[in-house]
């Protein structure tokens, strides 16, 4: 197996841990409520980092089974921050799987992505404000960036993850079509229910994620199905479109706001260390919810001709554009897919061992 003596130095660029302090006692794995016999972390992965086993670190799905409960970091006798090491590994894998190479640049250059996001926000707001034609049609065309992104960039991430986790180690294409496995994969993706496996269950953290997830999904539905036309229609406070916006906006504000406050006050192990991209993620999410809510409120109270509404709606669409182009592809948003896939891969591996997985050999 290829050894990379610079590996730990490279991973250090993705997180704030001190693995040189680790004396390999194994306490972190012993206290981790999510580690299992067949999915062992974090000690084994720390050891792999120490000895430079690069392939092991970017071809295993273990980092995605860690939900940053923080129990390992809280009890590590050397304060080596193993939980943060797992977080760094997730960023490292995202950078490795990204076919554009931009994730690596953004993760390793602190605030570069934030500066770019601010520049793009200003540019799109200016563009939307200066545009004299059909603003809704222009926004619709820009929203097309999302399906294009899903196909190209996200497809690249997922194929790379599959190739390194399944195809290479198992020698071909292996799949499981068992309904129970497919259902569990979706359930994990939507609810991130493994959070609840943490010993000191942090209910509010889980609820915040669920609020953000449901609010965000609803926002996607609202904008992609064009359910809102705030510049053309006057909505009632209790109209179906308004009710959807009240829920989506409030869920994002409460969930995203709570995540921001945790990071600000470092109130839990999982929020002690924040990469600039973590801030960019939660703050942009908060802005989407707040501007969407404000736009609808002004429409309801002042009508579609309001000058304030015009400005707010353009700002809302400008933030959503930056979100789609810069945040979705290159921040922790991608966890939405990687975590449930890690669960699915575990089933595929077990089925492959038992000889019951769908199998397609690619030959040598
Ligand atoms: S990270 Fe800490 S708890 Fe884990 S093996 Fe190293 S010293 Fe022990
Ligand atoms: S952060 Fe939590 S889930 Fe992750 S390795 Fe540590 S104890 Fe386990």
User: Which region among 11-20, 246-255, 298-307 has the lowest average model confidence (pLDDT)?
Assistant: 11-20
Check residue 150 and give its pLDDT. 66
Does residue 153 surpass a pLDDT of 80?
no
What residue ranges do the domains of the chain occupy? 7-97, 110-352
Residues 6+ apart with CB under 8 A from 127: 318
Check residue 104 and give its pLDDT. 93
Check residue 329 and give its pLDDT. 84
Which tokens go with 191? 């609810």
Does 82 sit in the ligand 1 pocket, CB within 6 Å?
A: yes
DSSP-derived secondary structure for 181-230: HHHHHHHHHHH-GGGGGSSS--HHHHHHHHHHHHHHHHHHHHHHTT---T
Check residue 17 and give its pLDDT. 83
Does residue 363 surpass a pLDDT of 60?
no
Residue closest via CA to ligand 1's atom 6 equals 22
List the one residue out of 102, 12, 132 whose CA is nearest residue 326: 102
Does residue 146 surpass a pLDDT of 70?
no
Residue closest via CA to ligand 2's atom 7 equals 32
Q: What's the CA-to-centroid distance between 152 and ligand 1, angstroms?
A: 39
Does residue 362 surpass a pLDDT of 70?
no
Residue closest via CA to ligand 1's atom 7 equals 22
Q: What's the CA-to-centroid distance between 254 and ligand 2, angstroms?
A: 25
Q: 136 pLDDT band (50/70/90 cuts)?
A: low
- Structural contact between residues 82 and 73, judged by C-beta atoms closer than 8 angstroms: yes
The yes/no answer on whether domain 7-97 falls in CATH 1.10.1060.10 is: yes
Find the mean pLDDT for residues 205-211. Answer: 89
DSSP letter assigned to residue 70: -
Does 69 sit in the ligand 1 pocket, CB within 6 Å?
A: no
Q: Which residue has the tokens 């260390």?
A: 273
Q: What's the CA-to-centroid distance between 320 and ligand 2, angstroms?
A: 33
User: Which region among 18-27, 144-153, 169-178, 214-223 has the lowest average model confidence (pLDDT)?
Assistant: 144-153
Counting ligands in written order, the one closest to the CA of 199 is: 2
Check residue 201 and give its pLDDT. 64
Check residue 161 and give its pLDDT. 93
Check residue 75 and give its pLDDT. 92
Does 78 sit in the ligand 1 pocket, CB within 6 Å?
A: yes
DSSP letter assigned to residue 59: S
Q: What's the CA-to-centroid distance between 69 and ligand 2, angstroms?
A: 5
Q: What are phi and psi of 359, to 5 degrees?
A: -135, 135
Cα–Cα distance between 217 and 198 in angstroms, integer?
25
Check residue 155 and give its pLDDT. 84
Cα–Cα distance between 125 and 304 in angstroms, integer?
19
CA distances from 342 to 45, 288, 334 (A): 16, 29, 13
For the chain, percent of residues with pLDDT exceeding 70 = 94
Find the mean pLDDT for residues 113-135. Answer: 89
Residue 69 CA, closest ligand 2 atom number: 2
List the one residue out of 204, 222, 203, 94 whose CA is nearest residue 156: 94
Find the mean pLDDT for residues 20-39. Answer: 92
Per-residue pLDDT tens over the stretch 239-273: 999 999 999 999 999 998 898 888 899 888 888 89
Q: What's the CA-to-centroid distance between 20 and ligand 1, angstroms?
A: 10
Q: Where are the alpha helices (DSSP H) in the chain?
A: 7-12, 27-31, 43-50, 54-58, 71-75, 82-97, 102-108, 112-130, 135-143, 145-149, 155-162, 168-170, 179-191, 203-224, 240-265, 276-302, 307-322, 328-330, 335-354
Counting ligands in written order, the one closest to the CA of 82 is: 1
Q: What's the CA-to-centroid distance between 137 and ligand 1, angstroms?
A: 55
Q: 99 pLDDT band (50/70/90 cuts)?
A: confident
DSSP letter assigned to residue 271: G
Per-residue pLDDT tens over the stretch 312-351: 999 998 998 898 888 888 888 888 889 999 999 999 999 9
Counting ligands in written order, the one closest to the CA of 86 is: 2
Distance, C-alpha 126 to centroid of its chain: 28
Q: What are phi and psi of 68, to 5 degrees?
A: 50, 55
Pocket of ligand 2 (CB under 6 A): 32, 34-35, 41-42, 66-72, 82-83, 86
* Chain mean pLDDT for the chain: 88
Per-residue pLDDT tens over the stretch 177-192: 999 999 999 998 888 8
Residues, the chain, total? 364
In the Cβ-directed half-sphere of 165, how many Cα atoms lie within 13 Å? 26
Q: 303 pLDDT band (50/70/90 cuts)?
A: very high
- Structural contact between residues 255 and 60, judged by C-beta atoms closer than 8 angstroms: no
List the one residue out of 92, 100, 84, 162 whose CA is nearest residue 328: 100
Find the mean pLDDT for residues 69-97. Answer: 93
Residues 6+ apart with CB under 8 A from 23: 78
Q: Which of 11, 27, 50, 79 to mutate to test the pocket of ligand 1 (most atoms within 8 A of CB)?
A: 27
Residue closest via CA to ligand 2's atom 1 equals 68
Does 214 sit in the ligand 1 pocket, CB within 6 Å?
A: no
């Amino acid at each position: 197996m290829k050894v990379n003596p610079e590996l730990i130095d490279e991973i250090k660029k993705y997180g704030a841990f001190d693995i040189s302090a680790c004396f390999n006692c194994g306490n972190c794995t012993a206290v981790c409520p999510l580690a299992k016999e067949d999915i062992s972390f974090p000690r084994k992965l720390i050891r792999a980092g120490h000895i430079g086993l690069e392939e092991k670190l970017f071809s295993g799905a273990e980092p995605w089974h860690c939900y940053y409960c923080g129990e390992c970091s809280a009890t590590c006798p050397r304060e080596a921050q193993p939980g943060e090491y797992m977080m760094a590994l997730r960023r490292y894998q995202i950078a490795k799987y990204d076919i554009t190479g931009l994730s690596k640049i953004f993760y390793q250059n602190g605030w570069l992505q934030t500066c770019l996001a601010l520049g793009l926000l200003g540019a799109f707001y200016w563009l939307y404000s200066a545009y004299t034609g059909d603003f809704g049609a222009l926004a619709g065309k820009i929203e097309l960036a999302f399906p294009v992104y899903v196909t190209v960039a996200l497809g690249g991430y997922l194929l790379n993850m599959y190739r390194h986790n399944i195809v290479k180690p198992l020698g071909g294409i292996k799949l499981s079509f068992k309904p129970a496995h497919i259902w569990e994969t979706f359930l994990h993706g939507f609810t991130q229910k493994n959070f609840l496996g943490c010993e000191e269950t942090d209910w509010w953290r889980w609820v915040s994620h669920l609020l953000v997830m449901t609010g965000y999904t609803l926002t996607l539905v609202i904008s992609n199905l064009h359910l809102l036309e705030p510049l053309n229609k006057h909505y009632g406070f209790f109209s179906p479109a308004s009710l959807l916006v009240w829920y989506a906006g409030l869920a994002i504000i409460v969930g995203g706001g709570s995540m921001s406050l945790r990071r600000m006050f470092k109130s839990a192990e999982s929020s002690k260390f924040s990469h600039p991209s973590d801030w960019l993620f939660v703050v942009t999410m908060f802005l989407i919810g707040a501007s969407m809510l404000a736009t609808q409120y002004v429409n309801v109270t002042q009508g579609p001709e309001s000058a304030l509404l015009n400005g707010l709606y353009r700002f809302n669409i400008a933030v959503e554009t930056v979100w789609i182009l810069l945040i979705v592809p290159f921040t922790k948003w991608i966890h939405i897919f990687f975590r449930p896939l890690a669960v699915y891969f575990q089933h595929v591996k077990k089925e492959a061992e038992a000889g019951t997985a769908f199998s397609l050999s690619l030959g040598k």
